Structure 1
Amino acid sequence: MKLMFISDIHGSLFWLERALEKAEQEQPHTLVILGDFLYHGPRNPLPEGYDPQGVAARLNAYGKSLVAVRGNCDAEVDQMLLQFPMMGDYVLILHEGRKIYATHGHGFSIDQLPPLVPGDVFIQGHTHLPVADVKEGIYVLNPGSISLPKENNPHSYGIMVDGKYTIKDFEGNVVRDIQL
């Protein structure tokens, strides 16, 4: 089963469309969105193609194959527009015999892990930085941001399949990867 991870859309219909094009190419079983759906947040610039209502409509059309968690820029009013659950702080996913703890990263984070055991996977968004590493025997991952990458990183997304996690940019280049 292939999983695709995106994070930090921040209302950019332009970058969401690019991510959904990649989803059509990658054909994941599930698209996991790690928060910050509609609003750009007070610390971020307006992303290219800022259109929160367009993002909501596009995600609602895609909704049945989504798993999502709330980001720090998401609010109850966002849930009123989105027709799939996205207000949970985290979701647990069982994938290829591993437990994946998926969250936005403004509560538990790579720097403050939840109770997990070696071999488990922790994945977050929030920092807009791609990460594929191991900490205390736990795989710590971040797909980066599709709309507002930071520290000169490219716009990126993550793919998990066959015991491997790969972060790719939108040109198809591997940004980071790790064998799980």
Structure 2
Amino acid sequence: MKLMIASDIHGSSYYCRKMTEAYRREKADRLLLLGDILYHGPRNDLPKDYQPKEVIAMLNAMKQELLCVRGNCDTEVDQMVLEFPILADYCLLELDGHTIFATHGHHHNPKNPPMLKQGDILLNGHTHIPANRNMGAYIYMNPGSVSIPKENSAHGYMIYDGVFLWKDLDGNVLDMPCTL
């Protein structure tokens, strides 16, 4: 399965559109969203083209292709307008014999990891900073942010197709490949 992983859209119709264009270009089977879909949050500036209603329309149109976990800015009110589930705190995926614990990152993260076994992957958003680190007992990965990247990182996402690749929204590979 080819999987695209993205996080932290924060209501930006501009970057959501670029993300969905990248998803189509990548021909991925599913898009895993790691939370913070509609609201920008009190600590963030408004992202470019902050238009949550447009984000709702774009994502609802592809609801069968989405997997999603809840971010710290996602609420029950958001679930009322989105036609796919967004309120799960985490999901578990099996890829090529490895368990991926996908969550937003405000609860489970490298400082407070869930119970993982050797070779498992902790996959978070939340920090808006891409990461690929071997933590000894597990691997920590973060796609960064679609709309509000931090620490001079790119507006980006990850692709899994046998290997993990970090890409900017134009599809350029960033220097962080990882094989399982």
> TM-score, normalising length from structure 1?
0.96
Query: Counterparts of 1:72-111 in structure 2 under 5 Å?
Result: 72-111=72-111
CA distance in 2, matches of 1:155, 1:177: 17
Which SS does the other structure have where 1:174 is aligned? coil
CA displacement 1:125-172 (0-9 Å, x = unmatched): 00000001211231210000000000111101001111x111111233
Partner of 1:134: 134
Deviations 1:77-129 (A, max 9, x none): 00001000110100111122211110000000122210011111110000000
Query: What's the counterpart of residue 118 of structure 1?
Result: 118
Q: Secondary structure at the match of 2:110?
A: coil
Aligned equivalents of 1:95, 1:145: Cα separation in 2:
23
C-alpha separation in 2, matches of 1:62 and 1:10: 18
Q: TM-score under structure 2 normalisation?
A: 0.96
Q: Please tell me the root mean square deviation across aligned C-alpha atoms, in Å.
A: 0.9
Q: Contact conserved, 2:102 with 2:124, CA < 8 A, in 1?
A: yes
Query: In 2, distance between residues paired with 1:70 and 1:171?
Result: 26
* Corresponding residue of 2:64: 64
How many residues align? The count is 179
1:34 and 2:34 are equivalent in the alignment: yes
Gaps of 5+ in 2: none
CA distance in 2, matches of 1:29, 1:133: 26
Alignment match, 1:156: 156
Give structure 1 stretches of 5+ with no counterpart.
none
Q: What do the CA deviations read for 1:32-71 (whole angstroms, capped 9, x no partner)?
A: 0000000000000000011111101110001101100010
SS at 1:94 equivalent? strand
